[in-house]
Amino acid sequence: MAELSGRAKKDLDGLPEALRLRAVDLIERLDAQPALGKKLLGQLEGLRSARLGRTHRIIYRLGETGPEVVTVVQRKDAYR
């Protein structure tokens, strides 16, 4: 499974159970498909965003050892 930051662990704990299970599944898929999300631009350059349903995004970076999840956040706050 991809490496999780402290913030990402806290974010996952705060999600409803159904959304948390989908998030864990998507994070596991990042190991096999690291380019799954889209590249972000501007201040967030170097990060990628994978959709978790309509309302949430998984923000991650591609590290030397694989994907590193930075945060799991609502879409409205993801790109600020």
Higher pLDDT, 75 or 80: 75
The CA radius of gyration of the chain, in Å to the nearest whole number, is: 11
- pLDDT for 1 equals 75
pLDDT in tens, 6-33: 999 999 999 999 999 999 999 999 989 9
pTM above 0.85? yes
Task: Give residue 48's pLDDT band: very low, low, confident or very high (50, 70, 90).
Answer: very high
Provide the domain limits for residue 9: 3-78
3 state DSSP class of 14: coil
How many domains does the chain fold into?
Answer: 1
- The CA-atom distances, in angstroms, between 6 and each of 35, 42, 61, 68 are 22, 24, 14, 11
Assigned token pair, 64: 């030397």
Kindly report the CATH number assigned to the domain that includes residue 48. 3.30.2310.20
